[in-house]
Amino acid sequence: MAHIIDGKAYATRLREEIGRQVRKLREHDLVTPGLAVILVGEDPASQIYVRNKANQAREAEMASFEYRLAYGVPQAQLLELIERLNQDPAVHGILVQLPLPPQVDAERVINAIRPDKDIDGFHPINVGKLGTGGQGIVPCTPLGCLMLLKHHLGDMSGLHALVLGRSNIVGKPMANLLLNEHCTVTIAHSRSRDLQAECRRADILVAAVGRARLVPGHWLKPGATVIDVGINRIEEDDQARLVGDVDFASASTVAGAITPVPGGVGPMTIACLLLNTLEATCRQHGIAFPAGIMQSAWGNDACLD
């Protein structure tokens, strides 16, 4: 049976370590990292995400600022708010919860966020830095996946990695991160011809598609490390369930290690948002980022999960 990569436990330790570093910043450097979250409209899932992000920021002793705008808000008003937050020294990270309503051009909004406060890592400057191996801000979900992979595998150079999905938020940055780790990277997507053959070659599989249980166990290379990003709500046996893009039951008999859904990548995404806010704060104040923070979160035990 595959080793279960416990993202929830890892994220908890990472958040605790971030909290310790935040306290140090407040006491030694008199700086409190500040996270501003903007929600437009009343989408129930987005409201839950925003509440969780704000709560976890507060738990890590960061300052948390929430802005809730009506669904019909004019684009100019949203851009004005972003500009105000760009100038506000108490705000080190700005997050605009997606999706946005149709009257708002999401690209324009993302581009309006100051790149060093863009803790989602979606601004073209940060995207470009990731693509050229520079020191930008990395999108939270792929960063969380990379941490779990590094924790489990250590050196990944030369391994075959397959990324299923090519979104700007997950698939493409994930592929760049794996390339920076010296993997041989393939990106597959909705028009790829033979997903099974691609999966069969992969030592590392990151699935970010949004199709419930698309990948069955018999597609996998035995011993592969599987990171399942997908979150799919299905009805089964008269019950609502959350499942990933990989069929966990069959995959866990073939893979060497696998993340569960829920409890795998999801908790890492918010922890990485806090990590990016901490890093942005350090950069804006010219303070050295605590480089060992990931290792400290892993602790001395070789394998947490």
Residue position matching structure tokens 């690209």: 107
Per-residue binding string, ligand NAD, 229-248, x by CB under 6 A, is: xxxx----------------
Does 164 participate in binding ligand NAD (rule CB under 6 A)?
A: yes
Select from 117-125, 128-136, 202-210, 284-292 the region that touches ligand NAD (CB under 6 A). 202-210
Does 210 participate in binding ligand NAD (rule CB under 6 A)?
A: yes
User: Does 165 count as an annotated binding residue?
Assistant: yes
Residue position matching structure tokens 């030694």: 28
Please tell me what DSSP assigns to residue 218.
G
Q: Show the tokens assigned to 210.
A: 């949004």
From 21, 97, 172, 247, active-site residue: 97
User: Does 187 count as an annotated binding residue?
Assistant: no
Confirm if 250 and 219 have CB atoms less than 8 A apart.
no
Does 213 participate in binding ligand NAD (rule CB under 6 A)?
A: no
Sheet holding 93-96, edge to edge: 63-69, 34-40, 93-96
In angstroms, give the least distance from the CB of 24 to ligand NAD.
28
Binders of ligand NAD among residues 104 to 163 (CB under 6 A) are: 141
In angstroms, give the least distance from the CB of 145 to ligand NAD.
9
Residues paired with 205 in a beta bridge: 162, 226
Any idea of the CA torsion for 216, 222, 227, 228, to the nearest 10 degrees? 10
How many residues of this chain interact with ligand NAD, rule: CB under 6 A? 25
Please tell me what DSSP assigns to residue 138.
P
E strands, the chain, in order: 3-4, 34-40, 63-69, 93-96, 160-164, 184-188, 204-207, 225-228, 232-236, 239-243, 257-258
Q: 32 vs 232, which CB is nearer to ligand NAD? A: 232
Does 209 participate in binding ligand NAD (rule CB under 6 A)?
A: yes
Select from 40-48, 108-116, 126-134, 227-235 the region that touches ligand NAD (CB under 6 A). 227-235
User: Does 108 count as an annotated binding residue?
Assistant: no
In angstroms, give the least distance from the CB of 64 to ligand NAD.
19
Task: Write the burial class of residue 127 (CB in 10 Å: 0-12 exposed, 13-18 middle, 19+ buried).
Answer: buried
Does 190 participate in binding ligand NAD (rule CB under 6 A)?
A: yes
Residue 29 falls in the annotated catalytic set: no
Residue 97 falls in the annotated catalytic set: yes
Residues paired with 256 in a beta bridge: none
- Catalytically active residues are 53, 97, 120
List interacting residues with ligand NAD (CB under 6 A).
Answer: 141, 164-167, 169-171, 188-190, 192, 195, 208-211, 214, 229-232, 265-266, 269
Known binding-site positions for NADP(+): 165-167, 231
